[in-house]
Amino acid sequence: MATSNISLDMVINLPADSTGSLLQILKIVQAQNVSVLHVETRPSKKSDFSDVFLKLSASNQDVLDQTVRLVEALPGVKVQVAVGSPHQHLKGIPLTAREEMANFPDVPWFATTMQELIEHNSKTLQCGEELGSDHPSFTDAAYRSRRQTFADIGAKYVLGQPIPYVEYNAEETATWGEVYRQLTNLYPTHACETYNRNFQLLIKHLGLSEHKIPQMEDISNFLRSRTGFRLRPSPGLVDFRDYLAGLAFRVFQATQYIRHHSSPQYTPEPDICHEYLGHVPLFCDPEFAQFSQEIGLASLGAPDEWIEKLGNLYWYTVEFGLCRENNGANTRVYGGALLSSFGELERCLTDDAKRVPLDPDVVAATPYPITRFQDVYFVAESFQDMREKLAGWITQIPRPFSLRYNAYTSSVEVLHKKEHLRGLVRDIESKFHINLCKRLLSE
């Protein structure tokens, strides 16, 4: 009778130039007859270091334990996380969901707890001084240097700590002011009702205005008080799988820099105008926050090809989506990229723009341009219609389990056994009884 293998996830901190150490680690793994299911290296939060992600598999737990001990004994090597091995290797990370994931060794790794999300260093695709030749700032050395300063803040930040205060200069504030004035002139006639309602909350409670760039810490604290979402400063454009994984934990990865002053009407990658003006108002809305978290949960463990499809859907809805309001009489914008780009926001509702009904299957198969205005915009029958259609579509994503976020423990629960479902039913019944008691007391 065949026995199922046991898997182990490791995060190893190495000096950036220690290619030899990585080879030593792989030789140890090979000598222990342990299979390597996945290996990946990424820059660490610590300068001059890198993180090595290893997913290992063996038929015997003792073999995996011995492998961890041998790796930990190497000079200059620090095993930050070893999930799946005994408690002494776990450094306080809850085991439940991670142990369940040992049953699915072929599923892409994802954080199952807030602590694992904190430990995980998201892959940044573009930031700082390495901006491409097609970027508006390519010949502006001062701007590129400033971008690197913001990238360094994001790279060093640890989720849960206060977000560092940023002193924006006069040129940055002027760019913010121009973008803010242009956009707020369009919002009453172009933005959807949900957006406009929550934008006024930011003005009322945070003093949002054209005269001063708000601090990310202030926005994050306000968001947490409204919907439980928090901001995490990012060095730049984040890998989409990592970005969605943050949403599953109600963490929105956001940048702190601003677009180049020569191109205030559009930016090829997210900046503070995109984050604060485009997305934050809708993250203040409880229903949209819940919808965003559900998209994040749907991405966890999804195959790569479905992440690409989900990326197309996210792009054409959450970033560039339109919806009808007032019984279909008006078309309005809810997409964050449009609501932070006054040039495209104005264009998308004109006769020059191609608008078609929202069909999730069509959207999922439609590639998108990044460096120019969109070729097509997808229109939902209502804001609610968009949420319902995407919620229906994500149920197609093939996974051998379901996921639920536990707000009490800030962790993801893996549901694939009968006892998991019984526990879920008990939780639903408990919430029903609480709500019933509240209703009866109010009568």
Could you report the per-residue pLDDT of 196-253, keeping only the tens digit for each?
999 999 999 999 999 999 999 999 999 999 999 999 998 878 888 999 999 999 999 9
Q: What is the pLDDT of residue 379?
A: 96
Specify the pLDDT at position 77. Answer: 77
The residue among 266 and 114 whose pLDDT is bigger is: 114
Average pLDDT over residues 340-368: 93
pLDDT at 87: 37
User: Does the annotation count 279 as an active-site position?
Assistant: yes
**d(C-alpha 272, C-alpha 214), whole Å:** 9
What pLDDT was estimated at residue 24? 84
User: Could you tell me what percent of the chain has a pLDDT over 90?
Assistant: 43
Cα–Cα distance for residue pair 443/434, rounded to 1 Å? 15
Choice among 274, 275, 299, 413 that is catalytic: 274
Q: What is the mean pLDDT of residues 103-120?
A: 86
Per-residue pLDDT, 78: 78
Query: Counting runs of H as helices and runs of E as strands, what totals does the chain give?
Result: 17, 14
- HSE-up (13 A, CA, CB side) for residue 358: 28
Pairing of strands 411-415, 402-406: antiparallel
Q: Nearest 5°: phi and psi at 348?
A: -65, -20
Angle between helices 61-72 and 19-31 (to 10 degrees): 150
Within 8 A by CB and 6+ apart from 15, the residues are 21, 48, 49, 50, 76
DSSP secondary structure code for residue 257 in this structure: -
Catalytic hit among 44, 260, 279, 299: 279
Given 3-state DSSP classes, what are the helix, strand and coil percentages for the chain, each rounded to the nearest 5? 45, 20, 35
Q: Is 72 a catalytic residue?
A: no
Per-residue pLDDT band at 376 (split at 50, 70, 90):
very high
Is residue 404 within 8 A of residue 424, CB to CB? The reply is yes
Q: What tokens appear for 224 in the block? A: 């947490």
254: tokens are 């956001």
d(CA 279, CA 288): 10
Tell me which of 319, 344, 346, 413 is the catalytic residue: 319
The per-residue pLDDT for 315 is 93
Query: What whole-number distance in Å separates Cα of residue 14 and Cα of residue 78?
Result: 7
Q: How confident is the model at residue 89 (pLDDT cuts 50, 70, 90)?
A: very low
- Give the pLDDT confidence score for residue 237 in this predicted structure: 80
Identify the H or E element spanning 50: strand 49-58
The yes-or-no verdict on residue 335 having pLDDT over 90 is yes
pLDDT band at 292 (very low <50, low <70, confident <90, very high): very high
Predicted pLDDT at 107: 87
| Range of lowest pLDDT (59-73, 75-89, 243-257) | 75-89
Could you say which of 44, 122, 292, 340 is catalytic? 340
Question: CA quadruple 144, 150, 156, 159: dihedral positive or negative?
Answer: negative
Structure tokens, 50:
């890198």
Please state whether 43 falls in left (phi above 0), alpha (psi between -120 and 50) or beta.
beta
| Whole-number pLDDT of residue 101 | 80
| pLDDT mean across residues, the chain | 83
Structure tokens at 342: 């006054």
186/346 Cα distance (integer angstroms): 7
284 confidence band (pLDDT: 50, 70, 90): very high
Q: Is 340 a catalytic residue?
A: yes
**122 carries an active-site annotation:** no
